[in-house]
Every structure is written in C-alpha cells, then in structure tokens.
Amino acid sequence: MSAVSQELAEIVDGLPEEKVREVVDFARFLKQQAGDLEWERIIGDARPRPKLDAFVAEALRDGKSEPLDTNKL
C-alpha cells in the first residue's frame, strides 16, 4: 500500500460511516472525471485517423440503420 493510500485509510478509519461514504462517493467522482478527461484528450487529438475516417465514410454510405432493438439481443 502506498503512503497516500495508508494516510487515506487512517483518515477514513477515524470518520463516522456517513462521512466515509461521502469520501468514497467523492473518490468515485474523481475517478470518473479522470476517465472523462482522458476521453477529451483522445477526442481532441488532431492526428489523422485514416481507419476511423474510412469506417465513418463506409457507415455513411450504408445509409440509415435501424435503432437498436434490445429485445432482439
């Protein structure tokens, strides 16, 4: 366990259950936000994506598709 993890465990150990849940919820929020930032970085990357461009062009040539019917899965 890292020093930061150990420190967090010690802090949480001294909190009431309600506050521990708040800390966990906030940690989950931060984890999700970090993932969102990574997607934003990927989407904002200006490098060419020839395979993706070809895939999109082919999908557009195929025309409209039916909405996903979860009953057919």
pTM of the complete model: 0.51
Average pLDDT for residues 45-67, to the nearest whole number? 90
For the chain, which residues make up each domain, given as ranges?
3-62
Please name the amino acid found at residue 33: Q
Q: How confident is the model at residue 9 (pLDDT cuts 50, 70, 90)?
A: very high
Between residues 62 and 29, the one the model is more confident about? 29
Determine phi and psi for 43, rounding to 5 degrees.
Answer: -65, -35
pLDDT tens digits, 22-53: 999 999 999 999 888 888 998 899 999 999 99
How far apart, in whole angstroms, are the C-alpha atoms of residue 1 and residue 19?
22
Where is 7: in which H helix or E strand? helix 3-13
The alpha carbon of 45 is separated from its chain's Cα centroid by a whole number of angstroms, namely 17
**Average pLDDT across the chain, whole number:** 91
Cβ distance 26 to 37 under 8 Å? no
The alpha carbon of 35 is separated from its chain's Cα centroid by a whole number of angstroms, namely 4
